[in-house]
C-alpha cells in the first residue's frame, strides 16, 4: 500500500518510476539491470536492513533518499549524512528531498 502511494506521488512529481523492490536482493538486481537517476530507499525491506543497497548506490554515484520509521540517530553512523525522511513523510518533504538530491552539494555527502 505504501509503495503504491509513493509511486503515485513520484509520478505526480513527473518522475518515471522504473520499479519497486521489497527485498535487498531484488533491489540490488534492479540497480544492476537498469540505469536510474535517483532512488527512494526504505531502510527496512521485509526485515532486512538495506545498507548494502545504499553502499552500491554510493559506489555507483546514484543519489538516494533514505526513508525509515527510525530516528536519524538510529541509522549507522556512515549513513546519517545522506538525505533522510522519517515516516510518515509528507508530499512536500518528499518533493524537497528529491529536488535536493540534484543540487551539487547533495552528492558530496
- Give the pairing of strands 64-68 and 84-86: parallel
User: Which pLDDT score, from 0 to 100, does residue 105 have?
Assistant: 62
CATH number of domain containing 56: 3.40.50.2300
Asked whether 42 and 5 are in contact (CB, 8 A), the reply is no
Q: What is the pTM of this model?
A: 0.85
Asked whether 84 and 76 are in contact (CB, 8 A), the reply is no
Tens-place pLDDT, residues 5-51:
888 888 888 888 888 898 999 999 999 999 899 999 999 999 999 99
Range of the domain at 12: 2-108
- Give the pairing of strands 39-42 and 84-86: unpaired
Counting the structural domains of the chain, the total is 1
Find the helix or strand (DSSP H, E) in which 65 lies: strand 64-68
Asked whether 41 and 53 are in contact (CB, 8 A), the reply is yes
Amino acid at each position: 500500500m505504501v509503495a503504491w502511494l509513493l509511486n503515485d506521488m513520484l509520478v505526480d512529481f513527473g518522475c518515471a518510476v522504473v520499479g519497486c523492490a521489497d527485498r535487498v536482493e531484488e533491489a540490488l538486481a534492479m540497480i544492476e539491470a537498469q540505469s536510474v537517476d535517483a532512488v527512494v530507499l526504505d531502510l527496512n525491506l521485509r526485515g532486512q536492513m538495506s545498507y548494502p543497497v545504499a553502499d552500491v548506490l554510493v559506489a555507483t554515484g546514484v543519489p538516494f533518499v533514505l526513508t525509515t520509521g527510525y530516528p536519524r540517530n538510529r541509522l549507522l553512523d556512515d549513513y546519517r549524512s545522506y538525505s533522510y525522511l522519517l515516516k510518515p513523510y509528507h508530499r512536500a518533504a518528499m518533493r524537497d528531498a528529491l529536488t535536493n538530491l540534484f543540487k551539487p552539494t547533495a552528492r558530496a555527502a
